[in-house]
Amino acid sequence: MKNLFSVKGKKVLITGGSRGIGYMIAHGFLEHGAHVYIASRKEDELRAAAEKLSELGPCVAFPADISSGKAARELAAKIEEREGKLDVLVNNAGANWGAPYQEYPESAWDRVLSLNVKGVFELTQACTPLLEKAAVAHGGARVVNVLSGGMYSQRIHVDDLESRSGAYSGSVAYARAKRGLMILTEEWARRWATDGIVVNAMHPGWADTPGVVSSLPEFHRVTERVLRTPEEGADTIVWLASATEAGKVSGKFWLDREPHLQHVLPNTRETSAERRRLLQALASYARKRRKAA
């Protein structure tokens, strides 16, 4: 990873940081002097990764399944207790479990939606005060949301967020979830425009990761020879979170350090009313879970 600006001493939280692209994101930050926290629902794998990464610099493991709103809020609380602020949040955790439909117990929502949209929403909202403190202290903070090119094929369905209509497809649910995360990226950019927090989304390209192997085995078999390495997939993420020029743009979708279109098909565009309804649904759910807790 060349031509990166200094992130020495910066506090970075990476979800899904135990393997694949997430592991290489942590590796890239540690090489440049950051203090890294990695989170994952796979505790044994996570602790082994943190032990290995600690050979490069300060790396702490926080077991957490961010599909759970409670776990997401507790993760933010741990960062606050330990550091008081957060310079960079990388929302990298994501998964596609395929068919059939699976319900996440806490949310009673589709498991794909719970992790890829709801969990990201709750964690980012909980971390916002920490990012604001870092922005004041260090002149800026950054959020990077990891998406997928699959979102180009889908629009958000606010009347059917969980993709229950018709035969369930994990790939379609995943693509719609990533479309929802692109919407959140744009909305957060608007809200944080004067707060010193820059947020962008990106597609790491098709990389040879454990997630691709497990969720798209046939795709992996056919394309294995041309897939990117996890390090190549991580490059733009680390760049967006650390480069001076990347801090001048917010709310965009990036690939290979270049901004790309958010839509390539006209029927994937949501209306302003649909955007509001998505945000309302996520905020309403989060309020209900906090009261229940």
Q: For the chain, how long is the longest CA-to-CA vector? A: 50
Please give the torsion angle defined by the CA atoms of residues 241, 261, 263 and 265, in that order, rounded to the nearest 10 degrees: -150
Give the position of tokens 């990533």. Answer: 178
CA distance 258 to 235: 12
Rounded to whole angstroms, how far apart are CA atoms 61 and 16? 11
Q: For residue 204, give every residue at least 6 positions away whose Cβ sits within 8 Å of its Cβ, in sequence order, or none.
A: 21, 146, 228, 232, 233, 234, 236, 237
Q: So which residues are the catalytic ones?
A: 174
- Asked if 43 contacts 63 with a C-beta cutoff of 8 angstroms, the reply is yes
Please report, to the nearest 10 degrees, the dihedral formed by the alpha carbons of residues 193, 144, 121, 190 taken in order.
20
Check: CB of residue 151 under 8 Å from CB of residue 175: yes
| The Cα angle at residue 69 between residues 278 and 283, in degrees rounded to 5 | 30
Contact 180, 145 (CB under 8 A): no
Closest CA to 262 of 130, 151, 109, 172: 151
- Rounded CA-CA distance 2/55 in Å is 21
Residue 260 token pair:
């790309």
